[in-house]
A and B are shown apart, each in its own frame.
Chain A
Amino acid sequence: MATYNLTTPLTDEDIVQLKAGDVVNLTGTIYTARDAAHKKLIEALDKGEELPFELEGSVIYYVGPAPAPPGAAIGSAGPTTSGRMDAYAPRLHSLGVKASIGKGKRSQEVRDALQQYKGVYFGATGGAGALLSQRITDSEVIAYDELGPEAIRKLTVQDFPLLVVNDAHGAEQYAKPNYEL
């Protein structure tokens, strides 16, 4: 288990060194998108329209933050359940997205895409939204303002604490439950 300090945009070299269980402190720019925003991104791709941010090397944070209290860059901002974005993630990885941040399990299709396109899935601590917001120094809505908490935001993060859950080599960090499913 190693600790890495990485800066966005992420490269293939950044990604392939990471192993499930490693800790990453991420600095730079990340983009928020959750259910409704993903649907719009995919519709835009289908229509051949330009996307609101550059996908190459990008990191997508599955989050719908709470409104910012006075003096804060952002409100509480912890990860949402990633599985809901599984339908969209492989296509976005194929177009250059390097990592997503969320909580919970990913589908086999997403795990395959991480291997094929050199990507990782990071876990952040679910429910620690107040704590995580302290590592976000700037927040700006850049698309789909009408979606409210689901709008796409450009976030500036400093040492955002992440755990590699699924790496680009097929490994996963989650414990297998002692139950035959």
Chain B
Amino acid sequence: MKSIKAQDLHDAVRDMIMDACRILPDDVYGALQRALDEEESESAKEVLAQLIENADLARNTQLALCQDTGVAVFFVDYGEDVTIEGGNLEQVLNDAMVEAYDKGYLRKSMCDPLTRKNTGDNTPAVIHSHVVPGDSLKVKFMAKGGGSENMSRIAMLKPAQGWEGIKDFVVRTMAEAGPNPCPPTVVGVGIGGTFDLAPTLAKQALFRPLGERNTDPRVAAMEEELLAAVNDLGIGPMGLGGKTTSLDVKVEMHPCHIASMPVAVNVQCHSSRTKEVVL
């Protein structure tokens, strides 16, 4: 059994959050640079140049990449041979998040759904945890912005609709989203499972580095086909037209009921802020 001190976990998660909100991951930064090289329209190039300049500025200052520092979303792989000494996982993650959002000058965006009263400290975080074999604790963090999250959709398709139905739903969702989710987007797609699992798969997919394909060659081919189809929409950076509507499409698939075909699209903005820490 491995024992991890609650304070060590707290400190690692706090620092990870502050970095994630200021430092654009290298894969995303690189994808923006490649997009800038490939775009031809002036407005598309101007937007991409601004986004790269924004990332450079945020990295070198205490400014957040985007004012919407999001819902704090965690995916945790909790080794079954690990204990947290002096705290429980949910409490430690929330406390670390509160400190990070306060010390890091990050915007607190969580509120009561009806009164719209802000909770004041960005709590509660959204935490997905899974028990896995082993003696390590992996905590993945995503700062999930509201503008892109709002354009996400789920459909319970009929099995007869097949791949064509799935593809149409993904492309239609991104066409309807248009300029709203701050394109170029990253698109997470969850296929299968249940009504609740499909969107979780879609969100999980957003953690995979850009350019890295699904290990299942069949799913990898679907990702390539969807990325090409979404970019054929011509929406472009900030919706002003161009080749780069999405930087990547990630698909996660899971078996489903013989009667069902759940498909979820989780839309992520260009500021695809994720980071992980392993203890």
Given contacts A129-B64, A130-B61, 14 further A-B contacts (CB under 8 A): A66-B69, A70-B62, A75-B63, A75-B64, A76-B58, A76-B63, A127-B269, A129-B68, A131-B53, A131-B54, A134-B57, A174-B178, A174-B240, A177-B175
Decide if B105 touches A173 in the complex (CB within 8 Å).
Answer: no
- Rank and list the top 5 A-B pairs by shortest CB-CB distance, nearest first: A175-B241, A104-B180, A69-B62, A126-B182, A179-B175
Decide if A83 touches B66 in the complex (CB within 8 Å).
Answer: no
Give A contacts to B, CB under 8 Å.
21, 35-36, 63-70, 72, 75-78, 80-81, 83, 103-105, 123, 125-131, 133-134, 147-150, 163, 173-179, 181
Q: How far is the CB of B107 from chain A (nearest CB, A)?
A: 4
Decide if A173 touches B240 in the complex (CB within 8 Å).
Answer: yes
Q: How far is the CB of A148 from chain B (nearest CB, A)?
A: 5
Bound together, the chains give a CA A176 to CA B175 distance in angstroms of 9
- What are 27 residue pairs bridging A and B, where the CB atoms are less than 8 Å apart in the complex? A64-B67, A64-B109, A66-B67, A66-B106, A75-B67, A76-B64, A78-B67, A103-B179, A103-B238, A104-B181, A105-B179, A125-B51, A126-B66, A126-B147, A127-B269, A127-B270, A129-B63, A129-B66, A130-B57, A130-B66, A149-B118, A150-B118, A163-B43, A163-B240, A175-B234, A175-B236, A176-B234
Give B contacts to A, CB under 8 Å.
43, 47, 50-51, 53-54, 57-58, 61-69, 105-109, 116, 118, 120, 146-147, 150, 171-172, 174-176, 178-182, 232-236, 238-242, 269-271
Across the interface, A181 reaches (CB within 8 A) one of B43, B67, B176, namely B176
Across the interface, B269 reaches (CB within 8 A) one of A126, A134, A174, namely A126
* Residue of chain A at shortest CB distance from B22: A130
Q: How far is the CB of B247 from chain A (nearest CB, A)?
A: 12
Across the interface, A174 reaches (CB within 8 A) one of B106, B109, B120, B239, namely B239
* Residue of chain A at shortest CB distance from B109: A149
Decide if B238 touches A125 in the complex (CB within 8 Å).
Answer: yes
Collect the chain A residues with CB atoms within 8 Å of residue B182's CB. 103, 126-127
Collect the chain A residues with CB atoms within 8 Å of residue B107's CB. 64-67, 75-76, 149
Decide if A81 touches B235 in the complex (CB within 8 Å).
Answer: no
Bound together, the chains give a CA A88 to CA B172 distance in angstroms of 28
Q: Known interface pairs A130-B63, A179-B233. Does A83 touch B118 (Cβ–Cβ under 8 Å)?
A: no
Collect the chain B residues with CB atoms within 8 Å of residue A66's CB. 63-64, 67, 69, 105-107
Residue from A35, A66, A72, A103 with most neighbouring chain B CB atoms (10 Å): A66
Q: How far is the CB of B105 from chain A (nearest CB, A)?
A: 4
Decide if A81 touches B232 in the complex (CB within 8 Å).
Answer: no
* Residue of chain B at shortest CB distance from A147: B118
Across the interface, A36 reaches (CB within 8 A) one of B65, B116, B178, namely B116
Decide if B240 touches A65 in the complex (CB within 8 Å).
Answer: no
Collect the chain A residues with CB atoms within 8 Å of residue B271's CB. 127
Decide if B147 touches A63 in the complex (CB within 8 Å).
Answer: no
Collect the chain A residues with CB atoms within 8 Å of residue B67's CB. 63-66, 75-78, 129, 149
Collect the chain B residues with CB atoms within 8 Å of residue A133's CB. 63
Bound together, the chains give a CA A175 to CA B175 distance in angstroms of 11
Q: Known interface pairs A66-B107, A69-B105, A174-B178. Does A128 touch B50 (Cβ–Cβ under 8 Å)?
A: yes
Collect the chain A residues with CB atoms within 8 Å of residue B176's CB. 181
